[in-house]
């Protein structure tokens, strides 16, 4: 038989109803430990996994099903889930570096990730160089003999700049540098970075993988040799595990990931095209638009585009931006994204050196009727 399609993997990968009395939905093993029948079994309890378990900080049957499904969707050998997206970020980075090492990262990386790279890692004399990332040679030029990690985010936060994953991965392999990418924006449905040679792929699973705004979670995926180490060191020793109930909720969300992503893409593209023509809008940042400066690269790497975009306003004042957001009815004002609901937050776009940043909005286009969202945005921008 041919390899199963993405939708089939969402429905069946990692599932084995025979393990759970025929239940098609895995049960929630909401317990902290697992007992053994006798003292002799206690001494080899760790060796009994996956047929036996020891302690949920190490492994849990519910989370195991989730990790197998996620690895299949991301076309990776293995996965490890964490209690937040940032726990996944820090685990992947700490797996790659040690004291005195150097990291090259894109300059539009997620804010807390940038803070971790610049502030926390400085405690261990780990340095970082930021590059725009739109030219692969920027990574080569930024390398030092101590460089051990390229940290990518494609498309990146706020302005959705992309990196040529295949070219960056080739440079990394030449120098035995590990590559890590945050793939939260695209989800595994629209992009599989391992196909381009990226070593580790991580997600804030709070976003599209969960899809219902009811969990906080993260995941790292890649080759088994890396994940075996991450599972023990950054997973068990640092302890940022995913709760079994949250794992079960994410399994539920993954069943509908393909249909949700198709709808997010369809509605977001409609909104982005309409906003490009709106008299109050200066620029829309969205990789699905043909006006995006890296549209051709996106067509090569992405199978589609998700529901997150940003909008620069012609009147780029913070005051006007806040007034626009306050007039919205169907968009909640709140951080995060990737759930069923539409969201908007005010953001400052980085300007030229020394320039005052212009303000605008980051929009997540949810699963509401798109005509309602268009009408809502128009009335808010026009001040009706």
Q: Is the bond into 353 cis (omega within 30 degrees of 0)? A: no
**Domain shared by 100 and 227, yes or no:** yes
What is the token pair recorded at 238?
């640092």
Whether residue 102 lies inside any domain: the answer is yes
H-only helix segments in 97-194: 111-115, 137-142, 165-174, 187-190
pLDDT for position 28: 96
| CA atoms of 272 and 260, how far apart (whole Å) | 18
Residue 75 and residue 35 share a domain: yes
| Same-domain status, 12 and 39 | yes
- Residues 187, 100, single domain; the answer is yes
Q: Are residues 264 and 246 in the same domain?
A: no
- 233 and 291 in a single domain? The answer is no
Domain boundary among 254, 278, 306: 254
Quick one: 209 and 277 in the same domain?
Answer: no
In whole angstroms, give the CA distance from residue 334 to residue 289: 25
Residue 147: the pLDDT is 98
User: Among 235, 254, 273, where does a domain finish?
Assistant: 254
- Considering the domain boundaries, does residue 232 fall inside one? yes
Name the β-bridge partners of 131: 106
Residue 1 lies in a domain: no
- Please indicate, yes or no, whether residues 62 and 16 belong to a single structural domain of this protein: yes
Domain that holds residue 318: 257-382
CATH number at residue 150: 3.40.640.10
Which pLDDT value is given to residue 352?
54
What proportions of the chain, in percent to the nearest 5, are helix, strand and coil? Answer: 40, 15, 40
Q: Which residues of the chain have pLDDT under 70?
A: 46-52, 351-357, 384
**Alpha carbon distance 303, 287 (integer Å):** 11
Q: What is the pLDDT of residue 313?
A: 95
Residue 302 falls inside a structural domain: yes
In a domain, 181, yes or no: yes
306: in domain: yes
Has residue 156 been placed in a domain? yes
Q: Do residues 234 and 148 share a domain?
A: yes
* Whether residues 193 and 50 fall in one domain: yes
| Residue position matching structure tokens 């049960």 | 27
Q: CATH number for the domain including 371? A: 3.90.1150.10
Six-digit token pair at 284?
């829309």
Residues 70 and 122 occupy one common structural domain: yes
Say which residue the tokens 């990262």 belong to. 105
The domain total for the chain is 2
**Dihedral in degrees, nearest 10, Cα atoms 191, 193, 195, 198:** 180
234 and 270, same domain (yes or no):
no
The verdict on residue 114 lying in a domain is: yes
Out of 254, 274, 303, pick the residue that ends a domain.
Answer: 254
Express each pLDDT in 49-88 by its tens digit.
555 688 999 999 999 999 999 999 999 999 999 999 999 9
pLDDT in tens, 141-165: 999 999 999 999 999 999 999 999 9
């Amino acid at each position: 038989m041919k390899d199963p399609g993405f939708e089939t993997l969402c429905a069946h990968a990692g599932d084995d109803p025979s393990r759970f009395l025929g239940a098609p939905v895995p049960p929630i093993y909401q317990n902290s430990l697992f007992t053994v029948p006798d003292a002799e079994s206690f001494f080899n309890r760790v060796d009994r996994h996956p047929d036996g378990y020891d302690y949920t900080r190490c492994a849990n049957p519910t989370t195991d099903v989730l990790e197998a499904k996620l690895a299949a969707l991301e076309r990776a050998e293995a996965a490890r889930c964490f209690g937040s997206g940032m726990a996944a970020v820090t685990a992947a980075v700490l797996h790659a570096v040690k004291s005195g090492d150097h990291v090259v990262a894109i300059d539009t990386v997620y804010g807390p990730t940038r803070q971790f790279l610049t502030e926390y890692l400085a405690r261990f004399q780990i340095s970082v160089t930021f590059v725009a990332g739109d030219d692969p040679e920027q990574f080569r030029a930024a390398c030092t003999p101590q460089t051990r990690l390229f940290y990518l985010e494609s498309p990146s936060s706020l302005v959705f700049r992309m990196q040529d994953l295949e070219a960056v991965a080739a440079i990394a392999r030449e120098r035995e540098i590990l590559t890590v990418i945050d793939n939260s924006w695209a989800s595994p449905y629209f992009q599989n970075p391992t196909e381009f040679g990226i070593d580790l792929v991580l997600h804030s699973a709070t976003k599209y993988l969960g899809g219902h705004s009811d969990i906080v979670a993260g995941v790292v995926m890649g080759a088994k040799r890396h994940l075996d180490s991450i599972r023990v060191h950054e997973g068990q020793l640092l302890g940022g595990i995913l709760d079994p109930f949250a794992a079960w909720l994410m399994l539920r969300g993954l069943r509908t990931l393909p249909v949700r992503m198709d709808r997010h893409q369809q509605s977001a593209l409609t909104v982005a095209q309409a906003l490009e023509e709106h008299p109050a809008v200066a620029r829309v940042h969205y990789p699905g638009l043909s006006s995006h400066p890296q549209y051709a690269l996106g067509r090569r790497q992405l199978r589609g585009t998700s529901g997150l975009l940003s909008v620069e306003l012609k009147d780029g004042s913070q005051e006007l931006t806040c007034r626009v957001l306050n007039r919205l009815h169907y968009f909640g004002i709140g951080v995060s994204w990737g759930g069923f609901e539409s969201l908007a937050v005010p953001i400052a776009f980085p300007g030229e050196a020394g320039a005052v940043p212009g303000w605008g909005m980051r929009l997540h286009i949810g699963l509401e009727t798109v005509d309602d969202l268009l009408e809502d945005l128009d009335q808010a921008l026009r001040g009706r």
